[in-house]
Amino acid sequence: MKKIGIIGYGWLGARIEASLHNTYTFSVTTTTQDKADELKNRGINPRVASFMDYQLASPLLPWDEIKTLDVIIITIPVSEKSCCVSSLYNRIQNLSSFIGDFEGQIFLMSSTGVYPNTEKEFIEEDIAVNSISGERMIRNKYPQVNILRLGGLMGDNRLLKNYNISNLDHAVNHVHYADIAGIISKMIERKLESKTYNVTAPAHPTKSQVINAQKNINDTGEVMEVKGKKVLSSKLISELEYVFQYPDPRFFHL
């Protein structure tokens, strides 16, 4: 059974582990000792580690689990939207001190936020990895990294109807966490490296349509012009022959 390390056991990391715990064993990082104790009681091997944005007085001690891991999944934010470039550089330097010269499979959870908010259908080649600071820094250090540009994370308690939403006639670029886990598992099985994929559900209904579906409000049948950007996962579907478990965001809550 392969062993996966998740760096950043937050909302997404927890759901990836829960979705795949029957297939893989896990070691994870968390930022508090209380959370580490809870995870240890559940049979998950935790390490308390915080990848701060400032330059640490001394490098993070290497992850003692690193030699036993086959795969690393990085869920901590590595985008310029989460911090400035210099802080991002420090965060990635701290990360590299932690995992060293790891040569196994690596997955970086990036975002469809790398694409501009223009009315266009975007594919991976529209924005090169080298033009995105976080993606570039990670790939320069770990050329084998698979970069997954995730749409809006949905499923469980995350439903669009629970948020204050504007631009209701704009398309959604959402993905259910179960499909993220399924795609990672398939890529592990195929031993894929150095891939960049958009990860969004194939259907892109409007925000209004998604909210109405979640509130059990029947659409009037009026055809609404769908505005905004659409980030396409057609490359992933073609290359992986992946069939989405949740292809339409209108039904993520079912």
pLDDT digits (tens, 9 = 90+) for 39-66: 999 989 999 998 876 666 566 789 999 9
Nearest CA to 72 out of 142, 154, 175 is that of 142
Over residues 143-152, the mean pLDDT reads 98
Please determine, for residue 243, whether its predicted confidence score (pLDDT) is greater than 90. yes
Domains of the chain: residue spans and CATH:
3-154+174-201+230-251 (3.40.50.720)
The whole-angstrom separation of Cα 15 and Cα 27 is 14
The whole-angstrom separation of Cα 88 and Cα 16 is 24
Over residues 126-138, the mean pLDDT reads 96
pLDDT at 173: 98
pTM across the whole model: 0.94
How big is the CA angle at 179 (ends 174 and 184), to the nearest 5 degrees?
A: 120
Please determine, for residue 180, whether its predicted confidence score (pLDDT) is greater than 80. yes
User: Which range has highest mean pLDDT (30-44, 53-67, 220-234)?
Assistant: 30-44
pLDDT at 135: 96
The whole-angstrom separation of Cα 46 and Cα 28 is 5
The whole-angstrom separation of Cα 23 and Cα 42 is 16
Over residues 179-188, the mean pLDDT reads 98
The whole-angstrom separation of Cα 225 and Cα 214 is 20
Please determine, for residue 4, whether its predicted confidence score (pLDDT) is greater than 80. yes
pLDDT at 207: 96
pLDDT at 221: 59
Over residues 112-130, the mean pLDDT reads 97
